Amino acid sequence: MIEAIIQMQHVFKTYPSQISALSDVTLEIFPGEFTFIAGPSGSGKSTLLRILYCSEKPTSGEVIVHGMHITQPGFKKIYQLRQAMGIVSQDFKLLKDRTVTENITFALEVTGHPREEAKWKALEILRHLGLEERESDSIFSLSAGEQQRVAIARALVNSPSLLLADEPTGNLDAKMTLRVMDILTDLHQKGSTIVFATQFTGLIKRYSYRVIQILNGQILDGRKADTNKIHQG
């Protein structure tokens, strides 16, 4: 039997403000799946992803990612967990005072890639994302859409076997959105697992990928793709 790459069992998340962001979330995502996490603003998509990359702890419930029991008390392998994935966070989390290239090569150099190779790889992905002319610019000087593309480049430069992307095309125009989707489709076809959170139903409907629909912190249908059930809005 194939083992899930992501397992969430009865996960609840209540913020100190008493807002219940996730309520009894149970789901499994298998290696090689492309899965949209779909739901309107405030439905819990970012909370769910932040729990998967251990930037947030659930209030209760169990989460296993890449075979690591990340919710077990005393779990300390956050570095190892994040090495095994690419992350595009909704707020980009870029090093603002560094250049575009430095933001991308940083991730490679800490995993032992020689500087020249890291730079070459960074430039290649920047070319794919139409940012080659901005390679030496500081993040401060970029628009939101350009920063988002740098965040995507940083996550993809390692060809991660698991990509967690939170609204990664939210600041991009239609043409660039399609280009990013093509790059992700290519990564998926090479075998990577992709989890893509978005509130844009139009985007989801263009693809026949699995959809996990979330509303008010609850999974409505996590078993199979059925884009007809996604709420417009």
Contacts to ligand ATP by CB under 6 A: 15, 17, 19, 21, 39, 41-47, 90, 199
- The binder of 7, among Mg ion, ligand ATP, none, by C-beta within 5 to 8 A per type, is none
- The binder of 17, among ligand ATP, Mg ion, none, by C-beta within 5 to 8 A per type, is ligand ATP
Q: DSSP of 48-110, one letter per residue?
A: HHHHHTTSS--SEEEEEETTEETTSTT---HHHHHHT-EEE-TT----TTSBHHHHHHHHHHT
**Which is nearer to ligand ATP, 15 or 140 (by Cβ)?**
15
Q: Is 168 helix (H, G, I), strand (E, B) or coil?
A: coil
Longest dimension (CA), the chain: 50
Single-letter code of the amino acid located at 233: G
What are the φ/ψ torsions at residue 94 (nearest 5 degrees)? -90, 160
CA distances (Å), origin 107, targets 9, 127, 151: 31, 18, 11
Rule CB under 5 A: say whether 46 interacts with Mg ion: yes
Rule CB under 5 A: say whether 89 interacts with Mg ion: no
Query: CB of residue 37 vs ligand ATP: minimum separation in angstroms?
Result: 8
Query: CB of residue 89 vs ligand ATP: minimum separation in angstroms?
Result: 11
Span near Mg ion by CB under 5 A; candidates 24-32, 52-60, 84-92, 108-116: 84-92
- Residues of this chain that bind Mg ion (CB under 5 A): 45-46, 90
